[in-house]
Amino acid sequence: MDASLRLDIQDLYTDYAACIDEGRFEEWPEFFTEKCDYKIIARENYDRGLPVSTLFFESKGMLKDRVYSITKSLFHAPYYQRHIVSTPRFLKEEPDGSMRTEANYLVLRTRQNTLSEVFSTGRYVDVVMRENGRLKFREKLCVFDSELILNSIVYPL
Amino acid sequence: MDASLRLDIQDLYTDYAACIDEGRFEEWPEFFTEKCDYKIIARENYDRGLPVSTLFFESKGMLKDRVYSITKSLFHAPYYQRHIVSTPRFLKEEPDGSMRTEANYLVLRTRQNTLSEVFSTGRYVDVVMRENGRLKFREKLCVFDSELILNSIVYPL
Amino acid sequence: MDASLRLDIQDLYTDYAACIDEGRFEEWPEFFTEKCDYKIIARENYDRGLPVSTLFFESKGMLKDRVYSITKSLFHAPYYQRHIVSTPRFLKEEPDGSMRTEANYLVLRTRQNTLSEVFSTGRYVDVVMRENGRLKFREKLCVFDSELILNSIVYPL
């Protein structure tokens, strides 16, 4: 894979993290193709091939619905997120031009009047492809390591 | 932006972190242009456009003065820092050749006889430019997420 | 150093982390040359040039022996690891083609029914070279910041 494409995929990951961390949630679905899978799933289930996920959205419409919940209807204490994401691994280029990529992530959470704390850590297991010239996620699995969750996951990981 | 320049800017970030983490503080001001802004500011203030900063230096001379404080006059318990910095985002190239870049950071602190702990997390909001052929920061804002600070910030972030 | 080689070295680091984090320990020695040094050493000792290490292996055979211990004979509570590794610094290319590289690392640990926690943070101090066309570590020093260790280090860092 050439250096320029690799750096473009790296940018996809950093732009994605910045979008969420800055709370620009209405832009978040635009990182996905029209048909897409977004899952938050415990590593314990993922490693055994068990399908049960904490969250599972399977279209951009469902992502937009989630954004509506987050910003308009869910009652929750607000918090900041901060993503630290490793450089992605490039695992496979499929015949249809899509690419399997993975990256380790750490999300820190900061609530009002508290110190920043480790909120979630795990691995993104993704399929990236171009749609209208722009790199997007066709699949994004957030495979988190701890089956315990601090309070609840409100914002996207 | 070509791959080579992007990797050079990435190097600037990793070299900067290494300089601080290894305690080579006297080299720290050399990462900045002669005229420069270095700020440590709470996200709460930054997001609202409020100017109050925890630290604000506006020349390389002030940075050198800070180094003198850290190494010679401030009374404090020593601690190690460890930066984990995301790959930078390349936001804009200005007509004068300077570049707006950002990166997420996490700083861990280790004091004697304690475990490593999350010390500060946030975002660098920077302006990078060349001075005498070397990439430097003309502006570096450390926008930290938590308004609570563990003890005090002695060393640069 | 050209962009392509730099990205290849970056891949070495991300592949290394993935191997350990996914628990594919039997593949871990293959990231090292036949003759190699692998050390886990406290920063306090490293900075003073003191040789005492927490772990010290000096051949691929010893690494394989360690893998046998981890997977077959050591009695320990299992835990997940998650590495977040900075992009590497390229410090020096030696006449024999080997390269001195360094990277900051953070390892998070997740035990059953616990939250993820900071396990170890520090710096990799490495020598990378090609063996049979593949980039490998001839030396890998894991210089950790805290002289306190949560329980014990079972898996490789």
Sequence spans of domains, chain A = 3-144
Closest CA to A71 of A135, A142, A156, A10: A156
What per-residue confidence (pLDDT) applies to A63? 98
C139 pLDDT higher than 90: yes
Q: Count CB atoms within 10 A of the CB of residue A6.
A: 21
Res B147: pLDDT: 87
Residue B1: pLDDT above 80? no
Structure confidence by residue, pLDDT tens digits, A28-63: 999 999 999 999 999 999 999 999 999 999 999 999
Chain C residues with CB under 8 Å of a chain B CB are 3, 6, 43, 84, 86-90, 102, 104-106, 118, 120-123, 145-148, 150
Q: What sign results for the dihedral spanned by CA atoms C101, C14, C69, C148?
A: positive
ipTM score of complex? 0.95
Shortest Cα distance from A122 to chain C (angstroms)? 7
Fold of A3-144: Nuclear Transport Factor 2; Chain: A, (3.10.450)
CB spacing of B84 vs C104 below 8 angstroms:
yes
* A132 pLDDT higher than 90: yes
The pLDDT of residue C75: 86
Give mean pLDDT, residues B135-143: 98
Among C145, C149, C152, the residue to mutate for chain B (most B Cβ within 10 A): C145
Q: Is the pLDDT of residue A155 over 80?
A: yes
Q: Residue A1 pLDDT > 80, yes or no?
A: no
CB contact under 8 A, B104 and A21: yes
In this prediction, residue A75 carries a pLDDT of 86
Task: Find the closest chain C residue to A125 by CA distance.
Answer: C18
Tell me the chain A residues in contact with residue C7 when contact means C-beta distances shorter than 8 Å.
Answer: 3, 6
Q: What are phi and psi of A52, to 5 degrees?
A: -65, 125
Q: Which of A17, A82, A113 sits opposite B121 (nearest CB)?
A: A82
Tens digits of per-residue pLDDT, C117-131?
999 999 999 999 999
Alpha-carbon span B83 to B157, nearest angstrom: 8
Spell out which residues of chain B touch residue C123, defining contact as CB-CB under 8 Å: 21, 82
DSSP of chain C: --HHHHHHHHHHHHHHHHHHHTT-GGGGGGGEEEEEEEEEEEHHHHHHT----SEEE-SHHHHHHHHHIIIII-----EEEEEEEPPPEEEEE-TTS-EEEEEEEEEEEEETTS--EEEEEEEEEEEEEEETTEEEEEEEEEEES-S--SS---S--
d(CA B79, CA B69): 15
Q: What is the pLDDT of residues B37-78, one digit of tens each?
A: 999 999 999 999 999 999 999 999 999 999 999 999 888 899
Lowest mean pLDDT across A73-77, B95-99, B106-110, C92-96: A73-77
**Count of CB contacts below 8 A, A vs C?**
62
Report the distance separating Cα B16 and Cα C113, nearest Å.
38
Q: Compute the average pLDDT of residues C102-121.
A: 96
Task: Give which of A115, A120, A124 to mutate to test B binding, by max B Cβ within 10 Å.
Answer: A115
Subunits that touch chain C (at least 3 Cβ pairs < 8 angstroms)? Answer: A, B
Report the mean per-residue pLDDT for chain A: 95
- Cβ distance C148 to B114 less than 8 Å, yes or no, reads yes
Given a cut of 90, whether residue B98 has pLDDT beyond it is yes
Average pLDDT over residues C93-118: 96
Contact state of B113 with C148 under an 8 Å Cβ cutoff: yes
Q: Do A89 and C15 touch (CB under 8 A)?
A: yes
* pLDDT beyond 90 at C150: no
